Copies of this chain bind each other. A is one copy, B any other.
């Protein structure tokens, strides 16, 4: 299991999964949740989506130990209408709630052409692209939205109000591999600014304001002040939209309300997540192939321009490369293994 270089370790995907699941059950989390989180983290690790991969275990374990997240409650699925589903997570982590709801979302979208799924009262810590990938792989156009903790000022303002409020969208193609994007509606994620601070580097202009409300390139000032939305008033409007539809629309918290109940254990914020899915076949099963071909042509025309990359390409390349296993820093693996030791 130890790699050629002493400072790296090579793990198979089964070993990554086991490391996650064992660490979480060792910390006291129920097995069904531990398995779902392990699947979520393993997928992020394989895709080299480092913001949501193995190091996330530290936060998950933090929220198990602090008592913030329920350990054993199981999510419950309710069919609110034929086309609207709700999963109550009962203050557990999101992955099991998402696995509970998404198959029903897919089925409802295939039956009614469009469907929504609201995940309620969960601790969300996973990558949104992964949340909707199963729906896109099942042939659907799909979105999901979730809030964060308020650290972003609306455009024109200087005080934290909004979360980093990510948006994800997936489409079933090209070439059987969904076009998927997933981005924060803030100019940068808090993690990116934290990395700059540790590296002693300035942040680009336009990312943040300091506590005095003035634009800053000092990451410490930015973290003490407020991040800014991407794309000015347009990104700010999208961030407000996410607050509304992943919060009050579905009966869950805004980023500010989530922040107010946060205990600072390093784990995920409490909140909800909204999914929407549409079946392209509803607009004509007989024309579906030619319509998907029109979409494929759009992707091909974009990609043939030098400098253009589809949002999911880098992840798919990583997935291909890491089929047999991943190489990890030995120090991280040791740190993670230590997490499962009794507190």
**Interface members, chain A 257-312 (any B CB < 8 Å):** 257, 276, 278, 280, 282-284, 287, 291-292, 294-295, 297-298, 301-302, 305-309, 311
Please, which residues of chain B bring their CB within 8 A of the CB of A234?
181, 183, 185, 230-231, 235
Tell me how far the C-beta of A120 lies from the nearest C-beta in chain B, rounded to whole angstroms.
8
Tell me how far the C-beta of A150 lies from the nearest C-beta in chain B, rounded to whole angstroms.
9
Query: Is the CB of A116 closer than 8 A to any CB of chain B?
Result: yes
Option from B84, B153, B302, B305 in Cβ contact (under 8 Å) with A113: B84
Question: Smallest CB-CB separation from A85: which chain B residue?
Answer: B113
Please, which residues of chain B bring their CB within 8 A of the CB of A113?
80-81, 83-84, 116
* CB atoms of A171 and B287 under 8 A apart: no
Query: Is the CB of A26 closer than 8 A to any CB of chain B?
Result: no
Query: Is the CB of A29 closer than 8 A to any CB of chain B?
Result: no
Query: Is the CB of A156 closer than 8 A to any CB of chain B?
Result: yes
Question: Smallest CB-CB separation from A272: which chain B residue?
Answer: B283
Question: Smallest CB-CB separation from A310: which chain B residue?
Answer: B240
Please, which residues of chain B bring their CB within 8 A of the CB of A185?
234
Between A112, A245, A250, the greatest number of chain B beta carbons within 10 A of the residue's beta carbon is seen for A112
Query: Is the CB of A332 closer than 8 A to any CB of chain B?
Result: no
* CB atoms of B157 and A114 under 8 A apart: no
Question: Smallest CB-CB separation from A231: which chain B residue?
Answer: B231
Please, which residues of chain B bring their CB within 8 A of the CB of A294?
247-248, 254, 257
**Interface bracket on A:** 35 or more
Query: Is the CB of A161 closer than 8 A to any CB of chain B?
Result: yes
Please, which residues of chain B bring their CB within 8 A of the CB of A333?
none
Bound together, the chains give a CA A244 to CA B283 distance in angstroms of 13
Please, which residues of chain B bring their CB within 8 A of the CB of A302?
154, 157, 161, 240
Please, which residues of chain B bring their CB within 8 A of the CB of A118?
283
Query: Is the CB of A241 closer than 8 A to any CB of chain B?
Result: yes
Tell me how far the C-beta of A257 lies from the nearest C-beta in chain B, rounded to whole angstroms.
7
Bound together, the chains give a CA A249 to CA B294 distance in angstroms of 10
Tell me how far the C-beta of A315 lies from the nearest C-beta in chain B, rounded to whole angstroms.
14
Option from B114, B241, B249 in Cβ contact (under 8 Å) with A283: B249
Please, which residues of chain B bring their CB within 8 A of the CB of A183?
233-234, 237
Option from B161, B169, B278 in Cβ contact (under 8 Å) with A116: B278
* CB atoms of A244 and B141 under 8 A apart: yes
Tell me how far the C-beta of A15 lies from the nearest C-beta in chain B, rounded to whole angstroms.
34
| Contacts A169-B237, A248-B291; A298 near B243 (Cβ below 8 A) | yes
Question: Smallest CB-CB separation from A118: which chain B residue?
Answer: B283
* CB atoms of A298 and B240 under 8 A apart: yes
* CB atoms of A301 and B83 under 8 A apart: no
Bound together, the chains give a CA A234 to CA B292 distance in angstroms of 23
**Interface members, chain A 104-150 (any B CB < 8 Å):** 111-116, 118, 141
Q: List 7 A-B contacts (CB under 8 A).
A: A80-B113, A82-B83, A84-B282, A114-B115, A169-B237, A179-B240, A231-B235
New contact pairs (9) apart from A83-B112, A112-B112, A158-B307, CB-CB < 8 Å? A81-B112, A156-B307, A169-B241, A179-B244, A181-B234, A231-B234, A244-B298, A245-B278, A254-B297
5 shortest interchain CB distances as A-B pairs: A231-B231, A157-B305, A84-B113, A156-B307, A181-B237
